[in-house]
């Protein structure tokens, strides 16, 4: 799988996200409909049962979860930028010229308006993007990132963030948050009902069948595991979107090697990025908390990390770089270094 080219990688990531989201929907359905039928005696879809078979609890919880997520999205961008201490950059300042230029370049390559640019006064290299759609998006990078990376590497990081925006990842993660909220609410309700022993169950209804008790047990187990499962699913989505943003960044710059070396540099700076809080972690190019989890490979790390291991990302990017070298031998990287470019810039 490591020998995939950029486009194959992109469609694989999109497919994986779809699978995980389907799993999420299934989980919400299982727990919610389980509650409706076990506690209230509603048989979904059966107009003869209680409340005409309308799964009220499931729908109510979904509504609540969506409402909570949308209201957090409303104030989201400002809060995120504010809590990280990000300040809007002064376009005219010479030291930010390169940052503004690479952002302009990537906006042209992506065909979107250039996002608002912010800087976080933190020496550790990191970056994140926020905003619900390309027209209201922002990108923030740390001072450490600006000073530590070459022009090509900065361009690659900005391309990665631009890809999060272009792929509507912030919106997707909001939907995920809404689903988590729904699961949490349903679990809480379900566990309470269980303690109170309030079961109508299918056995009590006229349509009762032998499957009733077994379904009840399955539902009870799902209820206990739901918080863990929903977290695992959310992190899986998060990691898939990181891989996808890496691949899309490579598509924009046509220079996967630069992103690989930027990631390696970010990885070597072991200090946590103190200005970025835990809640923003999944938006960043690399885990700002420098948690051990995200560096490890293995079963547990695979389940709970917000970001895939950097070494693995670098490996995939290097494979892409190798691929693009064989498929288009004459293609110049389309970008140049620092003030005095070493690579003469070519025409695509």
x-or-dash pattern for another protein, window 224-253, by CB under 8 A?
A: ----------------------------x-
Cβ neighbors of 104 (< 8 A, separation 6 or more) are 114
**Shortest spacing between CB 94 and another protein, in angstroms:** 7
Cβ atoms within 10 Å of 339's Cβ, excluding its own: 8
CA–CA dist 286, 309 (Å, integer)? 9
Query: What separation in angstroms does the CA of 320 have from each of 81, 126, 129, 246, 249?
Result: 33, 23, 24, 10, 11
Helix, coil or strand: residue 129: strand
The residue annotated as part of the active site, out of 8, 133, 143, 161, is 161
**Shortest spacing between CB 333 and another protein, in angstroms:** 9
Active site residue 161: yes
Q: Does 254 bind another protein (CB under 8 A)?
A: yes
CA–CA dist 77, 118 (Å, integer)? 12
**Shortest spacing between CB 135 and another protein, in angstroms:** 16
Residues between 37 and 96 with contacts to another protein, criterion CB under 8 A: 94
If binding means CB under 8 A, how many residues of this protein chain bind another protein? 30
Q: Does 209 bind another protein (CB under 8 A)?
A: no
Extract the tokens encoding 72.
Answer: 């957090």
The residue from 60, 227, 272, 332 that contacts another protein (CB under 8 A) is: 332
- Sheet containing strand 116-120, edge to edge, reads 87-88, 116-120, 138-142, 127-130
Q: Which range in 5-13, 100-108, 177-185, 237-245 contacts another protein by CB under 8 A?
A: 100-108
Within the chain, residue ranges assigned H as helices are 6-39, 56-83, 97-110, 143-148, 151-166, 169-196, 201-204, 211-253, 256-268, 299-304, 310-327
**Shortest spacing between CB 163 and another protein, in angstroms:** 14
The residue from 106, 170, 249, 260 that contacts another protein (CB under 8 A) is: 106
Active site residues per annotation: 161
In the complex, the residues that contact another protein under the rule CB under 8 A are: 94, 97-98, 101-102, 104-106, 108-111, 252, 254, 330, 332, 334-336, 338-348
């Amino acid at each position: 799988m490591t020998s995939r080219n950029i486009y194959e990688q992109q469609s694989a990531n999109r497919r994986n996200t779809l699978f995980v989201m389907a799993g999420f929907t299934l989980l919400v359905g299982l727990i919610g409909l389980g509650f409706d039928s076990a506690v209230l005696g509603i048989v979904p879809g059966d107009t003869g049962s209680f409340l005409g078979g309308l799964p009220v609890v499931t729908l109510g919880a979904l509504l609540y979860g969506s409402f909570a997520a949308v209201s957090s999205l409303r104030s989201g961008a400002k809060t995120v930028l504010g809590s990280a201490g990000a300040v809007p950059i002064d376009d005219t300042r010479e030291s930010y010229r390169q940052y503004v230029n690479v952002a302009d370049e990537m906006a042209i390559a992506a065909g979107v308006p250039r996002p608002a640019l912010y800087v976080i006064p933190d020496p550790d290299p990191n970056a994140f993007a926020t905003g619900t759609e390309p027209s209201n998006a922002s990108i923030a990078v740390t001072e450490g990132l600006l000073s530590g990376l070459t022009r090509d590497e900065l361009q690659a990081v900005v391309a990665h963030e631009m890809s999060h925006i272009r792929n509507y990842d912030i919106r997707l993660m909001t939907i995920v948050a809404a689903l988590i909220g729904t699961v949490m609410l349903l679990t809480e309700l379900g566990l309470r009902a269980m303690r109170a022993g309030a079961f109508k169950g299918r056995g009590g209804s006229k349509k009762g069948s032998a499957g009733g008790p077994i379904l009840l047990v399955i539902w009870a187990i799902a209820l206990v595991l739901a918080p863990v499962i929903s977290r695992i699913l959310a992190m899986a989505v998060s990691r898939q979107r990181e891989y996808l943003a890496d691949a899309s960044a490579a598509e924009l710059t046509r220079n996967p090697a630069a992103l690989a070396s930027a990631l390696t540099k970010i990885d070597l700076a072991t200090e946590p990025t103190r200005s970025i809080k835990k809640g923003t972690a999944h938006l960043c190019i690399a885990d700002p908390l420098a948690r051990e989890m995200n560096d490890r490979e293995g079963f547990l790390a695979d389940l709970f990390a917000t970001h895939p291991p950097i070494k693995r990302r670098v490996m995939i990017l290097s494979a892409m770089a190798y691929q693009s070298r064989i498929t288009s031998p004459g293609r110049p990287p389309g970008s140049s270094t620092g003030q005095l470019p070493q690579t003469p810039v070519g025409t695509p």
